[in-house]
């Protein structure tokens, strides 16, 4: 059995303003409408011998991840296991915990396939062929990595030095090296002996746990403690396992390359499978912009655009028109609350914008204007003194928490679907073109018991309209009674 382990982390600050702290790179909607996370899961599920996928991600992204998987329409994602991190801790702790999970399944012959959720690979057949080779190597007790033949002296990736090919496309991994300077990258490219380190691996749980034991024994010991607490606290059949914060904090914030691979390679435990597939880690706007074709002037993009005397420019437009005049080599990304205008040669510096916004306390580093919630999403349409207007969309079958507000009342107008409203002691239906009023200090709940989406406009009135003015009495998503997150 192949057990894909999807590592879904990484803020993607170089992809601001589409990527935000609360809606990071794996969830970003790509020009084709898909997400990197969804594509990664689909790629894994399309491999032969896959029964389920394990996902290691931040617990804040659990519901959003499930939403992405639900779009795949693949029954194997229902009830698929999750290891939920309380905060980010790099790849070594995530892989150690995933290996302990895989070991606990007690299925001999299982090969774990580690897949970061922010990679893009278009050639599924070539990918599957490389996986088959890697799985064979893994079954023979090796740690198999996937190396990508470099096409240019990239300084943004780590490299692996390959030994002489043993057979097929399999080389011993002589050495892992971190992101090089340009001159070194050029030497690597010229030598033909170096490949890009893709961050994808295949190994059995026993192999990787033995490697952890040899090269990072303390990390493994801490991971085992985490795992034991996780197992002890989990109900039978519980799919989503929340990692304990205090124990997780004891794990070092280091990568699998540094914790295990460098030492394991030196001892001949690692092989490189040269991937015969296209590969991109979609690290910056350059990679995203190249996902769509260019017109005769080299312009690319999506949405309503007007290009006058414009060349080699990428424009991402959402609900506004974006006009360019006399410019070239720009990347322009327009979102409901932030606009980026960057030169193609400076796209790595986009992350500095995020740092600056964070230091200013500006919301746009963290949240999109439309905020995803387990029950659906809300968009703040306008705020003014004493009022706030939201569009609220509730998924079929979903329900907000039973709650009350101390400082605001709410006017609800349903514009699509049917709302089941609880207000005080009454529960009643509100249909499209009907409205209701939720007085201040009144317990209320909004639910959608139908099979169609519910869309509602909420006008809040009050002297304080912060998301933290909420008292939760009951919540289907485990957020009652005093969670900090809104609703």
Pick the piece of the chain touching a second copy (CB under 8 A) from 43-51, 150-158, 200-208, 344-352. 344-352
Which residues partner with 145 through β-bridges? 201, 272
Q: Does 457 bind a second copy (CB under 8 A)?
A: yes
Which residues partner with 429 through β-bridges? 420
Q: Are 338 and 17 in contact (CB under 8 A)?
A: yes
User: For the chain, first and last CA: distance in Å?
Assistant: 41
Q: Does 13 bind a second copy (CB under 8 A)?
A: no
- Rounded to the nearest whole angstrom, what is the least distance from the CB of residue 289 to a second copy in the complex? 14
- 3-state SS, residue 100: helix
Q: Does 389 bind a second copy (CB under 8 A)?
A: yes
Angle between helices 217-233 and 91-105 (to 10 degrees): 60
Q: Does 48 bind a second copy (CB under 8 A)?
A: no
Tokens representing 66?
């499930």
Pick the piece of the chain touching a second copy (CB under 8 A) from 230-238, 252-260, 270-278, 341-349. 341-349
Pick the piece of the chain touching a second copy (CB under 8 A) from 57-65, 129-137, 338-346, 477-485. 338-346
Restricting to residues 414-433, name those near a second copy by CB under 8 A: 415-416, 432-433
Restricting to residues 434-453, name those near a second copy by CB under 8 A: 435, 437
Q: How far apart are CA 41 and CA 51, in angstroms?
A: 12
Query: From its phi and psi, is residue 140 left (phi > 0), alpha (psi between -120 and 50) or beta?
Result: alpha
DSSP letter for 146, please.
Answer: E
From 35, 364, 401, 403, residue interacting with a second copy (rule: CB under 8 A): 364
- Rounded to the nearest whole angstrom, what is the least distance from the CB of residue 379 to a second copy in the complex? 8
Q: How far apart are CA 84 and CA 434, in angstroms?
A: 40
Q: How far apart are CA 240 and CA 54, in angstroms?
A: 10
Residues whose CB falls within 8 Å of the CB of residue 135, separated by 6 or more in sequence, listed in order = 2, 111, 113, 144, 202
From 309, 406, 424, 473, residue interacting with a second copy (rule: CB under 8 A): 309
Q: Which residues of 245-267 are buried (b: 16+ CB within 10 A; e: fewer)?
A: eebbeebeebbbbbbbbbbbbee
- Rounded to the nearest whole angstrom, what is the least distance from the CB of residue 298 to a second copy in the complex? 16
Rounded to a whole number of angstroms, the CA Rg of the chain reads 25
Q: Does 20 bind a second copy (CB under 8 A)?
A: no
- 3-state SS, residue 157: coil
Encoded one letter per residue, x for contact with a second copy by CB under 8 A and - for no contact, window 286-305 reads: ------------------x-
Q: Does 311 bind a second copy (CB under 8 A)?
A: no
From 286, 411, 472, 476, residue interacting with a second copy (rule: CB under 8 A): 411
Number of residues that bind a second copy (CB under 8 A): 60
Q: How far apart are CA 465 and CA 266, in angstroms?
A: 59
Q: Does 284 bind a second copy (CB under 8 A)?
A: no
From 162, 265, 273, 330, residue interacting with a second copy (rule: CB under 8 A): 330
Q: In 10 A of CB 56, how many CB atoms?
A: 25
Q: Are 344 and 360 in contact (CB under 8 A)?
A: no
Q: Does 182 bind a second copy (CB under 8 A)?
A: no
From 182, 306, 429, 486, residue interacting with a second copy (rule: CB under 8 A): 306
Q: How far apart are CA 237 and CA 45, in angstroms?
A: 21
Q: In 10 A of CB 32, how many CB atoms?
A: 10
Compute φ and ψ for 109, nearest 5 degrees. 85, 0
Q: Does 370 bind a second copy (CB under 8 A)?
A: no
Pick the piece of the chain touching a second copy (CB under 8 A) from 92-100, 126-134, 183-191, 382-390. 382-390
Pick the piece of the chain touching a second copy (CB under 8 A) from 94-102, 103-111, 253-261, 328-336. 328-336
Q: Does 413 bind a second copy (CB under 8 A)?
A: yes
Q: Does 179 bind a second copy (CB under 8 A)?
A: no
From 179, 362, 464, 466, residue interacting with a second copy (rule: CB under 8 A): 362
Pick the piece of the chain touching a second copy (CB under 8 A) from 196-204, 244-252, 261-269, 330-338. 330-338
From 241, 243, 347, 392, residue interacting with a second copy (rule: CB under 8 A): 347
Residues whose CB falls within 8 Å of the CB of residue 36, separated by 6 or more in sequence, listed in order = 25, 26, 28, 30, 117, 118, 119, 120, 282
- Rounded to the nearest whole angstrom, what is the least distance from the CB of residue 14 to a second copy in the complex? 10
- Rounded to the nearest whole angstrom, what is the least distance from the CB of residue 294 to a second copy in the complex? 18
From 17, 24, 81, 275, residue interacting with a second copy (rule: CB under 8 A): 17
Q: How far apart are CA 174 and CA 166, in angstroms?
A: 13
Contact residues for a second copy, defined by CB under 8 A: 16-17, 304, 306, 308-309, 317, 320-327, 330, 332, 334, 336-343, 345-347, 349-350, 352-353, 356-357, 362, 364, 379, 381-382, 384-387, 389, 391, 409, 411, 413, 415-416, 432-433, 435, 437, 455, 457, 459, 461-462
């Amino acid at each position: 059995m192949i057990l894909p382990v999807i590592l879904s982390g990484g803020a993607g600050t170089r992809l601001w303003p589409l990527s935000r702290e609360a809606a990071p790179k794996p969830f970003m909607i790509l020009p084709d409408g898909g997400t990197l996370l969804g594509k990664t899961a689909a790629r894994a599920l399309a491999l032969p011998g896959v029964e389920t996928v394990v996902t290691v991600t931040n617990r804040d992204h659990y519901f959003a991840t499930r939403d992405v998987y639900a779009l795949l329409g693949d029954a194997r994602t229902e009830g698929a296991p999750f290891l939920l991190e309380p905060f980010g801790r790099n790849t070594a702790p995530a892989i150690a915990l995933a290996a302990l999970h895989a070991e606990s399944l007690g299925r001999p012959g299982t090969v774990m396939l580690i897949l970061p959720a922010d990679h893009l690979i278009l050639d599924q057949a070539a990918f599957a062929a490389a996986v088959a080779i890697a799985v064979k190597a893994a079954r023979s007790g090796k740690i198999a990595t996937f190396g990508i033949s470099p096409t240019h002296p990239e300084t943004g990736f780590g490299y692996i030095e390959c030994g002489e090919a043993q057979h097929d496309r399999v080389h011993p991994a002589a050495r892992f090296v971190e992101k090089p300077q340009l001159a070194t990258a050029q030497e690597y490219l010229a030598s033909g002996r170096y490949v890009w380190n893709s961050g994808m691996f295949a190994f059995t749980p026993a192999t990787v746990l033995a490697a952890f034991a040899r090269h990072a024994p303390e990390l493994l010991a801490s991971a085992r403690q985490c795992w034991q607490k996780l197992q002890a606290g989990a109900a039978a059949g519980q799919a989503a396992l929340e990692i304990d914060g205090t124990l997780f904090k004891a794990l070092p914030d280091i990568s699998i390359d540094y914790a295990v691979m460098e030492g394991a390679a030196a001892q001949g435990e690692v092989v490189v499978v040269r991937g015969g597939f296209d590969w991109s880690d979609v690290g910056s706007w350059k990679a995203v912009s190249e996902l769509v074709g260019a017109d005769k002037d080299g312009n690319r993009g999506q949405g309503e655009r007007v290009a006058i005397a414009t060349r080699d420019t990428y424009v991402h437009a959402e609900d506004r028109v974006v006009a360019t005049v006399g410019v070239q080599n720009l990347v322009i990304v327009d979102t409901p609350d932030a606009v980026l205008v960057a030169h193609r040669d400076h796209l790595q510096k986009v992350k500095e914008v995020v740092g600056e916004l964070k230091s200013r306390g500006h919301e746009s580093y963290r949240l999109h204007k439309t905020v995803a919630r387990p029950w659906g999403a809300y968009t703040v349409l306008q705020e003014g003194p004493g009022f706030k207007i939201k569009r609220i969309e509730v998924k079929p079958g979903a329900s907000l928490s039973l709650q009350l507000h101390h400082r605001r009342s709410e006017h609800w107008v349903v514009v699509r679907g049917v709302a089941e409203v609880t207000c005080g002691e009454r529960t009643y239906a509100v249909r499209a073109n009907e409205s209701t009023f939720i007085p201040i200090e009144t317990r209320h709940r909004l639910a959608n018991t139908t099979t169609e989406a519910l869309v509602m406009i909420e006008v809040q009135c009050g002297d304080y309209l912060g998301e933290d003015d909420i008292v939760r009495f009951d919540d289907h998503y485990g957020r009652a009674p005093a969670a900090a997150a809104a609703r």
